[in-house]
Amino acid sequence: MTLLDRHIAFVEALRSAGLPVSLSEGLDAADAVLTLGLHDREGVRAAYAATLVKRQPHRAGFDHVFDLYFPALVGDPTKPVDPDADPDNEPAEMPEGAQGLGDGPADLAAFRDDLVNALGLGDPDALQTMAREAVQRFGLIRGRAEGEQRWSSYNVMNRVSPGELVDRVLQGLLADLDEDPTMRRLVEAQVAVFSEMVDAEVRRRAAEVRGPEHVAKYTVRKSIDQIDFTSARKADLEEMRREIGPLARRLATRLNKHKASRQRGPLDFRRTVRASVSSGGVPLDTHHRPRRPSRSDLVVLCDVSGSVANFANFTLMLVFALREQFNRVRAFTFVDEIHEVSDRFHPGADPIETMASLAASAQYASLWGRTNYGRAFTRFTELHADALGPKTNLLILGDARSNYSDLGIDVLQQMVKESRHAWWLNPESPRHWNTGDSGARDYEKVVKMIECRNLVQLGDFIHDLA
């Protein structure tokens, strides 16, 4: 593969990983790499990043693909470099279980001791070496074909299990374990870095055997604002929570700009004539009355049962971050009982605490703990009928999965009729609507149902709403 081919394949892979790389950017990248020279891998990475990655959320995906197409080394990292060896044949020649470095229980214990030291020191180079070694020694599994080798990060993490080492690392660093929770967080971050390195190493080895295109296709994750709420991992959820604040700020700026551009109201005759006196009676500038701000009330009903709780929380946080765009916001959560949570949001409050408080309040929304939309709607009209009015926008969040119980279509129809507009945000793909116990298609006849699976779709909807 020539350098040009590799460059083109790399750009192709970035495009399929969701980065919008244009033709001119590809040319710029080639230009930059040639200007800089190929002697330094990190330099090449910086050159590609500067020309191809124009948004920080795309950076993780870029690094991922870059490591596959421009790996730091080829073959087995624990063996001394042999310049004559043919890299294509190397993996096949190796006997199972690396020579010299065993993978028995004693070896594992020794390796874990070393890892404790490396984690304590926090030296990224040492961790990188350890990660490569760990994959080589503990990650090997038999491939499908004869002589084919594969590596599994699951095997490595399972055997080395660095998460259990956190306490030992802390013991080495601190006298008193409970003294400083921030220290624990730093060590946990180191462990996360290590496991990310192991993953990257496994991908690198896989790419050697099966080609980078194949690995890139199956392992590159989407950027955080494209990940589905329902399939997000714990780490993704934390990252999403951090995104809520900036997203709300961006939305507010956009909304304020948009509103300012519509603000010219009817002509203010008096002020115009007064101003014209200074220019000899010629009205050079016209003055206008400001438009009356038309803000609507918003009522949000959230399903907070386990499957969709995250989605409901994110949406609530976003809505309340933008509350000055609305006249009044009231929020209710439900599983099979209704519970008002409007008072749990304070301006300037800490997002983590708000989330925790919301999670704690979920118990009030649940009587028997099985989602029942029909009952929740009925209880809402019984207890909070005053919430809805001709100026109210109604927003319902949930996956419409009501455990085959009564859907309460009539009640919902009445609620929709009482409010000005009504929307239903569904975190599931329309493909899954009405599969299993989902009543999405039935509700869709009564209220407008909108797919809202990730932060991008959520942001777009909230913008149009305000």
Partner 1 sequence: MTWFDSAADAEKKLSGSGYLADQATATTTYLAGALEKPLLVEGPAGVGKTELAKAIARSTGAELIRLQCYEGLDEARALYEWNYKKQLLRIQASQGDDQTWSETHDDIFTEEFLLSRPLLTAIRKETSTVLLIDEVDKTDVEVEGLLLEVLSDFQVTIPELGTITATRRPMVLLTSNATRELSEAVRRRCLYLHIDYPDAEREHAILVGQVPGIEEKLAREIVDTVTRLRALELRKAPSIAESVDWARTLVALGTGTLDQATIDATLGVVLKHSSDIDRAVRELKLRQA
Stretch in the footprint of partner 1 (CB under 8 A) among 22-30, 303-311, 399-407, 435-443: 22-30
Residue found under tokens 């519970």: 339
Among 3, 38, 46, 385, binds partner 1 (CB under 8 A): 46
Stretch in the footprint of partner 1 (CB under 8 A) among 83-91, 178-186, 282-290, 397-405: 178-186
Q: Is 49 in the site for partner 1 (CB under 8 A)?
A: yes
Three-state secondary-structure class, residue 71:
coil
Three-state secondary-structure class, residue 150:
strand
Q: Is 51 in the site for partner 1 (CB under 8 A)?
A: yes
Q: Is 50 in the site for partner 1 (CB under 8 A)?
A: yes
**CA pair distance 452, 50, nearest whole angstrom:** 32
Q: Is 250 in the site for partner 1 (CB under 8 A)?
A: yes
CB of 183 to partner 1, least distance (A): 7
Stretch in the footprint of partner 1 (CB under 8 A) among 79-87, 238-246, 374-382, 444-452: 238-246
Residue found under tokens 């929740």: 376
**CA pair distance 86, 71, nearest whole angstrom:** 16
What end-to-end distance do the CA atoms of the chain give, in Å?
A: 53
**CA pair distance 219, 212, nearest whole angstrom:** 10
Among 96, 164, 180, 410, binds partner 1 (CB under 8 A): 180
Residue found under tokens 């009044």: 328
Nearer to partner 1, 182 or 294 (CB): 182
Count of chain residues binding partner 1 (CB under 8 A): 47
Stretch in the footprint of partner 1 (CB under 8 A) among 94-102, 225-233, 245-253, 369-377: 245-253
Three-state secondary-structure class, residue 265:
strand
Q: Is 24 in the site for partner 1 (CB under 8 A)?
A: yes
Stretch in the footprint of partner 1 (CB under 8 A) among 42-50, 107-115, 219-227, 382-390: 42-50
Among 73, 92, 349, 360, binds partner 1 (CB under 8 A): 349
Among 80, 95, 246, 390, binds partner 1 (CB under 8 A): 246
Closest C-alpha among 443, 394, 439, 444 to residue 418: 394
Q: Is 54 in the site for partner 1 (CB under 8 A)?
A: yes
CB of 24 to partner 1, least distance (A): 7
**CA pair distance 116, 103, nearest whole angstrom:** 18
**CA pair distance 328, 45, nearest whole angstrom:** 49
Q: Is 55 in the site for partner 1 (CB under 8 A)?
A: yes
Take residue 463 and report the two structure tokens written for it: 């913008």
Long-range contacts of 6-15, Cβ-Cβ distance < 8 Å, separation of 24 or more: 6/69, 6/70, 7/33, 9/69, 9/212, 9/213, 10/48, 10/65, 10/66, 10/69, 10/70, 11/52, 13/65, 13/68, 13/69, 13/212, 13/213, 13/216, 14/52, 14/61, 14/62, 14/65
Is residue 416 within 8 A of residue 394, CB to CB? The reply is yes
Buried b / exposed e over 392-405, threshold 16 CB at 10 Å, is bbbbbbbbbbbeee
Among 9, 12, 15, 36, binds partner 1 (CB under 8 A): 36
Q: Is 119 in the site for partner 1 (CB under 8 A)?
A: no
Among 7, 112, 168, 241, binds partner 1 (CB under 8 A): 241
CB of 240 to partner 1, least distance (A): 12
**CA pair distance 368, 78, nearest whole angstrom:** 57
Nearer to partner 1, 273 or 360 (CB): 360
Q: Is 254 in the site for partner 1 (CB under 8 A)?
A: yes
User: Mutual orientation of helices 234-261 and 351-361 as an angle, nearest 10°?
Assistant: 110
Among 17, 47, 65, 232, binds partner 1 (CB under 8 A): 47
CB of 291 to partner 1, least distance (A): 19
Q: What radius of gyration do the chain's Cα atoms show?
A: 29
Stretch in the footprint of partner 1 (CB under 8 A) among 100-108, 175-183, 303-311, 401-409: 175-183
Is residue 423 within 8 A of residue 416, CB to CB? The reply is no
Q: Is 258 in the site for partner 1 (CB under 8 A)?
A: no
User: Mutual orientation of helices 41-52 and 23-36 as an angle, nearest 10°?
Assistant: 150
Is residue 395 within 8 A of residue 296, CB to CB? The reply is no
Restricting to residues 356-415, name those near partner 1 by CB under 8 A.
Answer: none
- Contact code string over 300-339 relative to partner 1, x by CB under 8 A: ----------------------------------------
Q: Is 31 in the site for partner 1 (CB under 8 A)?
A: yes
Take residue 268 and report the two structure tokens written for it: 């203010």
What residue ranges bind partner 1 (CB under 8 A)? 20, 22, 24-25, 28, 31-32, 35-36, 40, 42-43, 45-47, 49-51, 53-56, 59, 179-183, 185-186, 189, 238, 241-242, 245-246, 249-250, 253-254, 257, 348-353
